[in-house]
Structure 1
Amino acid sequence: MDYKLLPFIEKVKTNQKKFGEKVIDISNKLDTVPHYLMIVMNNESGLRADIKNPTSSASGLIQFMEATAKGLGTTTADLRTMSNVKQLDYVYKYLKPYAKKFKDVSDVYLAVFFPLALYKDEDYKFPSWAVKANPIFDLNKDGILTKAEFRNYVNKKYAKYLPKSNEIELIKKKTPFSNNTKK
């Protein structure tokens, strides 16, 4: 797959080719679609590795929290100084344990937003603090966010950036810069 076909790749201002190719490579290793990862990173950080949330420690491409960064062997301050390509190593390291759960873009997003929800039923209700901090996902504005409502928001908002179902396996096939050997 040509990295130039990734959604939002034009927002990547430095190392665009290396960044795009690495997104495809790690997506192959996670057995997911690179579009999904690009959508999540775009929504979380605008694809900026140096960005920090002004109200928390959340930093980088997928808005790593300080405790999460420490668990990965780094800090949010260090993540913000890394190149976008280097920070993708930590994105991969973070997502790897959840990879078997990735069926669509909302699963990849759940792994970043609230990974516990990946293992819950569709009627699972997120804690009130998570809803208050992320009211955009609460579609009916009732102060309650279910896993199904979260999925609905993500899948509808980004539908135009998602590959068609018959294209997904083609996208996940081996690329020239990947070690993935799927046929």
Structure 2
Amino acid sequence: MQEKSSRTQADRRAATQLALLGAARALFADRGYAGVGAPEIAELAGVTRGAITHHYGDKAGLFQAVVRAEAQAVAAVLAALPDGPLALRQGARLWFQAMADKGRVRILLIDGPAVLGPSEMARIDGATGGGALAQGLAQALPGSDPAKLSALADMLSAGFDRAALRIAEGARPEPYQAGIEDLIARVTA
């Protein structure tokens, strides 16, 4: 007699998506978007290639889901940050720690913009806590012009990204982290 599975369709769907995201994240982190094919993602996940098409449309759709998950992981680290005068500096330290996760810089700062484009990356960033820097600056500089704060947040964000890229290339992290903290202190003084 055949046993009936107690797993629902929703459970199976979630398990397949989780397997695909895990396999894709591991391969993209290791070899980059261009160095990975959909068949090997499916094989590593233990599913058919059709599962990628069914759940994500194509490899690019799956990559977008991986980018979104990585951005959410960084946002989750920063969400625990308390408000206060040291929040920006503490947030910088937490951000660098979150970005040290193997492959995260490649996924979010190299392949993400190249594959998805800057507009989509900005949309994902905005939906996953990317406004935290602008909010921190607004708290540190009350009464400032919102347009100026937005531009300042963009420029500081670019500095964060450049620092993370250099660290990922093998540079010592301490000078970059200290430099960002010093820059924040000077901007908010």
TM-score, normalising length from structure 2?
0.25
**Relative to total residues, which structure has the larger helix share, 1 or 2?**
2
TM-score by length of 1: 0.25
In our comparison, the structure showing a higher alpha carbon Rg is: 2
